[in-house]
Amino acid sequence: MTILRIALPIPKRQLFDYSYQGPAPELGCRVQVPFGSRTLVGIVWEVAEKSQWPEDKLKAVSKLLDNKAVFNPTQLKLCQWLASYYKHPIGDVVQTALPVALRKGGPNQQKLAQYWCLTEHGKNIELSELSRAPKQQTLIEALRHRSIEKSQANQDFGQAVSKALSTKGLIVLEDKSYEDGEPWSAQIKISEKPQANVQQALAISRIEASIGEFATFLLEGVTGSGKTEVYLQAIESVLLRGQQVLILVPEIGLTPQTVYRFKHRFGIKVGVLHSALTDNERLEVWQQSALGQLGLIIGTRSAIFTPMLKPGLLIVDEEHDSSYKQQDGLRYHARDLAVMRAHTENIPLVLGTATPALETLNNALNGKYQHLQLPVRAGDATMARQQVFDIRQQPLEFGLAKGMLDRTALHLKQGSQVMLFINRRGYAPALVCHSCGHVEQCHSCNKPFTLHLSLYKLQCHHCAAAKGIPKRCANCQSSELGSQGVGTEQLEQGLAEYFPNYQSVRIDSDTTRGKNKLDTMLNQINNNEFQLLIGTQILSKGHHFPNVTLVIILDVDGALFSADYRAADHLAQLITQLAGRAGRAQKPGEMWLQTHDPAHPLLQDLINNGYGHFARYALLERQHANLPPYSFQALFKAQALSARDAHEFLQQVADYFTGAEGVMCLGPIPALMEKRQGQYRMQLLLQSNQRGLLQQALNQHISSVEALPLATKVRWSLDVDPQDFS
Ligand code: ADP
Ligand code: ZN
Ligand code: ZN
């Protein structure tokens, strides 16, 4: 009898044995199996001849769903690595890696695609008859060479064009398999490109020299230094060899503009993976990539799981971005997984950024990664001059000092745009009673409600709780309720009143929800429809604002005095990214940082010596404090309705790890955010100077932790290489 060991979507760190009649299927095929009273879809992970369970106790596989594995050998290996490195249940790893449509057991057969083809009439028509519709003419001309897939025709020509031609009876849709269409490798048409400068040329040739082998590059280039151009020229070499390229971008960097730049250069269809796709759209891109039908795939974090038939190159753009780390379930870091993937597939990986994460910089400095640097600007952008603005003893109006309002007026008068950055959405972070000082709090989180005047609501930013704005204080019934602190909404309103002759726009997660909304706003900004740009960090990512000559960051103190040791790095990255995105050579910009601590050494180092210097110094500090990347951490988190249960559970976990070789155990202590959604939250931090020792200790004890009676009573998780301590 054949025993199949199945990875099932069950939160247990184990495989499940089932008996199977017939020849063993390929590893990585999906099966349907009975589990208790349910039927689950799982993946064949191992084949064995014997089970540790008595044969008559084994249930049988009810159905084999695939005759060809849904995971290729690389993916099987990466899932195995994820489960083992993050100590995560393999069944859940597999779920994360698989498109939703396949998780549910749906078929993995590729559907036929619709292609535009010429009718007899279309084949014979004189092109001059269409001279008044040049786009239609071009499409007909293109169709004389080959039929074109519907979605691609929409991307390239616009929907109206094909519709018009089909109404005229010149073209018609036919169902075809992708395999019958012309392959992308035959469609590549390189459009005009700039001549690489010396540093770019060096970087490109180093990457090209590694095609076909594993290598990791840190491409450290100031904003606007031409990193994307380096990607494009390296990609060109890979595509021309018939190999595929996968590009990861941060959550909010994936705008139509980004995609257009890649599409336009090579003239081929780009597979795009982002969170707004339907399950079926996602599956299509996954299948096309797996079958080698796409040359270029661009996506956010989870796109790293997309299989490629002929992998050639991996790129992680803005590699420092925190959206690459998943913060729930399988807490993987897509950048680290990219390194593993490049290694497994034996291909080069390029990590590009102006502000490398300290972990990455350290690997480049110690020679583990090859370090490519672009120290100067390629285009005509320029770095804004950075200065601190002392706001001690200064009255603030909607968060701004008078001096800053004056500077804003000056720049507006010169016809420039001004960007104001504040990391808090809503009108104000609290509603306070003037009579007794009572603050309206979310009872589930013990944190003040944020006031949203435009919605006329109080909202908790830590859970979904919301309620109307009270007229009277809940404590003393006074009607003198006032807001405290400033958010984007208040800043926008204040500026609109102060500068009635200028238009303002607010860019935060409240105003950019919805498809292409952010892209529309960015276009309007570039068309100078707005002069005052108010926003949160969404503004710092991947967009250039050539007409912005003044950038003001309202509050940097929060990050300087944060309990999170990474907060200062993140602030430095933000400041540097913002400074690099404003202005151009003829119109250099200035940037002001409002602070109560103008002499702060970190701030001074950053604005005088730049991010590169700051980051190298920050690394020294990390070394002295023995913090990552010089030590390795794993964080157990637990939450429960009773603080005692959470604490007790982590105490029992701590008992296992106390005394483990080379591992330090800190806690349990309350999380920075002690209560959230009604649950009390505690943490236990493990730290070691050697990754191997930490892994060894985790391997040794994770099953015991999982088996603790309290483990089913509290909600707990393990985060290896944690980024988030909140
Ligand atoms: P980054 O990705 O580092 O922000 P980009 O690749 O977007 O930089 O380049 C910034 C600008 O400079 C773009 O407009 C780009 O077209 C232009 N550029 C890049 N490389 C060159 C070059 N070698 N010569 C001229 N312009 C260039
Ligand atoms: Zn009161
Ligand atoms: Zn709450």
pLDDT digits (tens, 9 = 90+) for 270-289: 999 988 889 999 999 999 99
Given pLDDT bands bounded at 50, 70 and 90, which one contains residue 509?
A: confident
Instruction: Select from 13, 2, 4, 3 the least CA-distant residue to 94.
Output: 13
Locate 682 and state its tokens.
């505690």
Least confident of 407-411, 444-448, 612-616: 444-448
Predicted local confidence at residue 637, as pLDDT: 97
Q: If DSSP states are collapsed to H, E and C, what string results for 369-409?
A: CEEEEECCCCCCCCCCEEEEEECCCCCEECCEEHHHHHHHH
Nearest-atom index, ligand 1, CA of 229 = 6
In angstroms, the CA 352 to CA 20 distance is 48
- 10, HSE (Cβ side, Cα atoms, 13 Å): 19
Give pLDDT tens digits for 673-710.
999 999 999 999 999 999 999 999 999 999 999 999 99
Distance 544 CA to ligand 1 centre (A): 11
Predicted local confidence at residue 309, as pLDDT: 97
Nearest-atom index, ligand 1, CA of 374 = 3
Q: Which residue has a Cα nearest atom 10 of ligand 1?
A: 224
Which CA distances in Å does 560 have to 143, 564, 597, 627, 631? 60, 10, 9, 17, 22
Q: What is the mean pLDDT of the chain?
A: 92
Query: Which of the given ranges, 135-144, 295-304, 370-379, 583-592, has the highest pLDDT on average?
Result: 295-304
Nearest-atom index, ligand 1, CA of 580 = 4
Nearest-atom index, ligand 1, CA of 230 = 6
Nearest-atom index, ligand 1, CA of 232 = 6
Size of the chain in residues? 726
Burial grade of 717 (CB within 10 A; 0-12, 13-18, 19 or more): middle
Ligand having the closest approach to the CA of 352:
1
In angstroms, the CA 726 to CA 463 distance is 14
Least confident of 15-29, 255-269, 409-423: 255-269
Distance 90 CA to ligand 2 centre (A): 53
Distance 227 CA to ligand 1 centre (A): 7
Distance 562 CA to ligand 2 centre (A): 30
Residue 606: pLDDT over 70: yes
For 437: left if phi > 0, alpha if psi spans -120 to 50, otherwise beta; the answer is left
Q: Are strands 632-640 and 504-507 parallel, antiparallel or unpaired?
A: unpaired
Q: Choose between 139 and 381: higher pLDDT.
A: 139
Predicted local confidence at residue 463, as pLDDT: 86
CB 251 within 8 A of CB 323: yes
Q: Which of 229, 264, 577 to mutate to test the pocket of ligand 1 (most atoms within 8 A of CB)?
A: 229
Ligand having the closest approach to the CA of 431:
2
Q: Which residue has a Cα nearest atom 19 of ligand 1?
A: 226
Predicted local confidence at residue 57, as pLDDT: 85
Ligand having the closest approach to the CA of 226:
1
Distance 502 CA to ligand 1 centre (A): 31
Residue 485: pLDDT over 80: yes
* Residue range 104-111: mean pLDDT, rounded: 89
Distance 196 CA to ligand 1 centre (A): 9
Distance 585 CA to ligand 1 centre (A): 13
Instruction: Select from 612, 199, 609 the least CA-distant residue to 372.
Output: 199
Q: Which residue has a Cα nearest atom 6 of ligand 1?
A: 226
Residue 179: pLDDT over 80: no
Instruction: Select from 283, 279, 299, 281 the least CA-distant residue to 291.
Output: 283
User: What does the DSSP assignment read for 38-93?
Assistant: EEEEEEEEEEES--SS-GGGPPBP-EE--SS-SS-HHHHHHHHHHHHHTT--HHHH
Instruction: Select from 694, 639, 708 the least CA-distant residue to 664.
Output: 694
Q: Which residue has a Cα nearest atom 16 of ligand 1?
A: 379
Ligand having the closest approach to the CA of 440:
2
Distance 408 CA to ligand 1 centre (A): 29
* Phi, psi of 484, deg, nearest 5: -130, 130
In angstroms, the CA 580 to CA 546 distance is 10
Predicted local confidence at residue 531, as pLDDT: 96
Given pLDDT bands bounded at 50, 70 and 90, which one contains residue 542?
A: low
* Phi, psi of 572, deg, nearest 5: -60, -40
Cα angle vertex 403, ends 398, 407, to 5°? 100
Q: Which residue has a Cα nearest atom 13 of ligand 1?
A: 379
Give pLDDT tens digits for 66-93.
999 999 999 999 999 999 999 999 999 9
In angstroms, the CA 228 to CA 353 distance is 10
Distance 185 CA to ligand 1 centre (A): 26
- The neighbour count for residue 524, using CB atoms within 10 Å, is 13
Q: Which of 228, 233, 235 to mutate to test the pocket of ligand 1 (most atoms within 8 A of CB)?
A: 228
Give pLDDT tens digits for 330-371.
999 999 999 999 999 999 999 999 999 999 999 999 999 999
Instruction: Select from 663, 656, 666 the least CA-distant residue to 706.
Output: 656
Least confident of 120-129, 424-433, 567-576: 120-129
* Residue range 157-161: mean pLDDT, rounded: 86
Nearest-atom index, ligand 1, CA of 379 = 12
Give pLDDT tens digits for 706-720.
999 999 999 999 999
Ligand having the closest approach to the CA of 315:
1
Taking the alpha carbons at both ends of the chain, their separation in whole angstroms is 51
Q: For residue 490, which amino acid is it?
A: Q
Which CA distances in Å does 308 have to 243, 313, 334, 419? 9, 10, 16, 41
Locate 702 and state its tokens.
């994770």
* Residue range 617-621: mean pLDDT, rounded: 93
Q: Which residue has a Cα nearest atom 12 of ligand 1?
A: 379
Residue 253: pLDDT over 80: no
Ligand having the closest approach to the CA of 448:
3
Ligand having the closest approach to the CA of 375:
1
Predicted local confidence at residue 286, as pLDDT: 96
In the chain, count H helices and then E strands. Answer: 21, 34
Q: Which residues of 267-302 are buried (b: 16+ CB within 10 A; e: fewer)?
A: ebbbbbbbeeeeeebbbbbbbbbbebbbbbbbbbbb
Given pLDDT bands bounded at 50, 70 and 90, which one contains residue 660?
A: very high
Distance 640 CA to ligand 3 centre (A): 15
Residue 9: pLDDT over 70: yes
Ligand 1 site residues (CB inside 6 A) read 194-197, 200, 221, 223-229, 378-379
Q: Which residue has a Cα nearest atom 20 of ligand 1?
A: 226
Nearest-atom index, ligand 1, CA of 317 = 2
Instruction: Select from 147, 177, 181, 176 the least CA-distant residue to 162.
Output: 147
Residue 538: pLDDT over 90: no
Residue 176: pLDDT over 70: yes
Q: Choose between 237 and 142: higher pLDDT.
A: 237
Locate 209 and state its tokens.
């020299």
Nearest-atom index, ligand 1, CA of 354 = 3
Instruction: Select from 168, 178, 188, 106 the least CA-distant residue to 147.
Output: 178
* Residue range 122-130: mean pLDDT, rounded: 86
Nearest-atom index, ligand 1, CA of 544 = 4
Distance 241 CA to ligand 1 centre (A): 25
- 492, HSE (Cβ side, Cα atoms, 13 Å): 23
3-class SS at 724? coil
Q: Which residues of 625-651 are buried (b: 16+ CB within 10 A; e: fewer)?
A: eebbbebbbbbbbbbbeebebbbbbbe
* Residue range 318-328: mean pLDDT, rounded: 95
3-class SS at 667? strand
The rounded radius of gyration (Å) of the Cα atoms in the chain is 28
Given pLDDT bands bounded at 50, 70 and 90, which one contains residue 154?
A: confident
In angstroms, the CA 99 to CA 302 distance is 10
Share of the chain above pLDDT 70, in %: 99
Distance 472 CA to ligand 2 centre (A): 8
Ligand having the closest approach to the CA of 225:
1
Q: Which residue has a Cα nearest atom 11 of ligand 1?
A: 379
* Residue range 151-164: mean pLDDT, rounded: 84
Predicted local confidence at residue 381, as pLDDT: 67
Distance 233 CA to ligand 1 centre (A): 12
Predicted local confidence at residue 354, as pLDDT: 94
Predicted local confidence at residue 62, as pLDDT: 95
Given pLDDT bands bounded at 50, 70 and 90, which one contains residue 585?
A: low
* Phi, psi of 595, deg, nearest 5: -150, 155
Distance 194 CA to ligand 1 centre (A): 8
Q: Which residue has a Cα nearest atom 17 of ligand 1?
A: 379
